[in-house]
Structure 1
Amino acid sequence: MSGYSNGRDIVSYVALGDSFTEGMDDPYPGPEGTGEVRYRGWADRLAEHLAATCGEVRYANLAVRGRLIRPIVEHQVPRAVELRPDLVTLCAGGNDIIRPGADPDLTARIFEAAVRRLAATGARVVVFTGMDTAFQPVMRHLRGKIATYNMHLRAIADHYGCDVVDLWSMRVLQDHRAWSEDRLHLSPEGHRRIALRVCEILDASPPEDWRAPWPAEDPRPWRAARQEDLLWAREYLVPWIGRRLAGRSSGDGRAAKRPALVPLQPARRGG
């Protein structure tokens, strides 16, 4: 039994946030014959591991792709408070920080309001810093804002006694294989490593080391890399900018994938 369970056989866990917590781009097939693709992600992987080590786990994932911090605070946080789980993970504000004119100080104040409400329930609250974008040419200029936001998040976590998953220091995520083709969302392997990191923070007996080196690979020829950059800009960057300019979100009209606390089966081996 994990160090987190404290002898309890039932653990309830609610995950809050945006696409990072919804699980994009870590797909697994939907019901047979439907052609539907669902997303697993680090939060599902964490819940599955807890189910394997703590006994029965009830799990809800309220995260929806594209969500800004205000909708998360206004809609997801009250639902989490209503569910009164033992464990809450909150990652929010990233979609705000990457927008032009974003104010990390204001975003942090909104984040603190969410943490205050969640901590008041007695739940164990885990929060996430933003990632270091130094390795991403398009996002590199946002490092200052992200670093400022991260300092606020750490101060908030200290004040309310939250655990912190420091994504900024996870250098393993700076490998291109940690990211999907759109370079905005994690790959399945990126999600797996973050799940292992959260397990470590929860003292939940992670089955592997998230720091494990990536297998060696041959360097990509310069010309091929530039062609990939051009393809990425056309297929992903331009549509993303278009949605922002139009005030649209990839999550418009979408609901949470797991809106209620429902018992979860233990993790599938090899996943």
Structure 2
Amino acid sequence: MTPYHRYVAIGDSQTEGVGDGDDRVGLRGWADRLAERLAAANPGLEYANLAVRGRLAGQVHAEQLEPALRLRPDLATVVAGLNDLLRPGFEAGEVIGHLEAMFAELTGAGAQVVTICYPDIVKVAPMARPLRGRVFDFNARIRAAAARHGVLAVETDGVPFSTDPRSWSPDRLHLSPLGHRLAAAAVAHALGLPDVDPAWREPLPALPPPAPWQTAATELRWTGSFLGPWVYRRIRGRSSGDGRTAKRPELAPVTLRRAD
């Protein structure tokens, strides 16, 4: 296993940790959980998280890359593009261009870079079926860009937890605490960290199938409670990240928590 001393995470709400905690108690998220695993194997590790919810890939590139480079990471995670992908004017080539520029700069500075591919969106939110082909194409572009720069692309498509409802918050845009924990395990496994429980690759215990009326009610509730407000914010040019800054902008030691 490669020893790491400075881990910097950049990205949007998933990397910030939305869905795992809240603004009152603080957000944890898969990147924080990964940092804890790294610190357990690398005493003295320092960690910074520059991610801010709502950011598009171009904003992550413009706002977070230079601060990340100044911290001289030997490990960096770059996960962005989902906010772009959900928008009507999505241009895959432009978004991948931002990701690839970040891959190139960070690997050129000597960092091991990790990114994550996205799961089948229809299995998470059936009403998002029109976006399915877009997600598959975007993943293929991520893999190709990662390969060009020696970036480790962690696969989630086909891994059972990534499309299990229990891995997602009610909004279906952000991972639940369980989902963040399993995503951290997936990245830790890809990095070759010791003592990673292989259960992250296995299906969660089966649930009884919902009745058709329950499925319909769930979709209607999701549309009214989450999809509608999200679309309304986009129309108004608003973002959930307006006025927010990084939760952990400087490198600092990691506090180890009890495993959960």
Please tell me the TM-score bracket, short chain as reference. Answer: over 0.9
Gaps of 5+ in 2: none
Structure 1 residues 172 and 124, CA gap change in structure 2 (3 angstroms): same
Q: Give RMSD over aligned pairs.
A: 1.5
Equivalent pair of 2:18/2:29 in contact (CA under 8 Å) = yes
- Structure 1 runs of 4+ aligned residues shifted over 3 Å read none
Equivalent pair of 1:199/1:206 in contact (CA under 8 Å) = no
Give the Cα–Cα distance (whole angstroms) in 2 for the partners of residues 254 and 157 of structure 1: 29
Equivalent pair of 1:13/1:57 in contact (CA under 8 Å) = yes
> 1:62-101 residue pairs with structure 2 within 5 A?
62-101=50-89
> 1:237-252 residue pairs with structure 2 within 5 A?
237-252=227-242
Of 117, 123, 128, the residue aligned with 2:116 is 128
Equivalent pair of 1:14/1:89 in contact (CA under 8 Å) = yes
Partner residue in 2 for 1:33: none
Of 13, 28, 34, the residue aligned with 1:19 is 13
How many angstroms does 1:206 deviate by?
A: 4.2
Give the Cα–Cα distance (whole angstroms) in 2 for the partners of residues 11 and 196 of structure 1: 19
| Structure 2 counterpart of 1:231, one-letter code | R
Give the Cα–Cα distance (whole angstroms) in 1 for the partners of residues 258 and 170 of structure 2: 26
How many residues get paired?
Answer: 258
**What does the per-residue CA deviation read over 1:201-246, in whole Å, with 9 as the maximum and x for residues that have no partner?**
1101243121132112222233233222222222111101101111
| Structure 1 counterpart of 2:66, one-letter code | P
How many angstroms does 1:134 deviate by?
A: 2.6
Give the Cα–Cα distance (whole angstroms) in 2 for the partners of residues 42 and 199 of structure 1: 10
**Structure that is richer in helix per residue:** 2
Of 153, 158, 178, the residue aligned with 2:147 is 158
Partner residue in 1 for 2:243: 253
Relative to the length of structure 1, the TM-score reads 0.90
Secondary structure at the aligned position of 1:101 is classed as coil
Give the Cα–Cα distance (whole angstroms) in 2 for the partners of residues 182 and 39 of structure 1: 16
| Structure 1 counterpart of 2:158, one-letter code | S
Equivalent pair of 2:160/2:204 in contact (CA under 8 Å) = no
Instruction: Name the % identity.
Output: 44
Partner residue in 1 for 2:166: 177
Give the Cα–Cα distance (whole angstroms) in 2 for the partners of residues 131 and 122 of structure 1: 29
How many angstroms does 1:75 deviate by?
A: 1.0
How many angstroms does 1:37 deviate by?
A: 3.1
Partner residue in 1 for 2:190: 201
| Structure 2 counterpart of 1:258, one-letter code | R
Gaps of 5+ in 1: 31-35
| Structure 2 counterpart of 1:193, one-letter code | L
Give the Cα–Cα distance (whole angstroms) in 2 for the partners of residues 218 and 137 of structure 1: 18
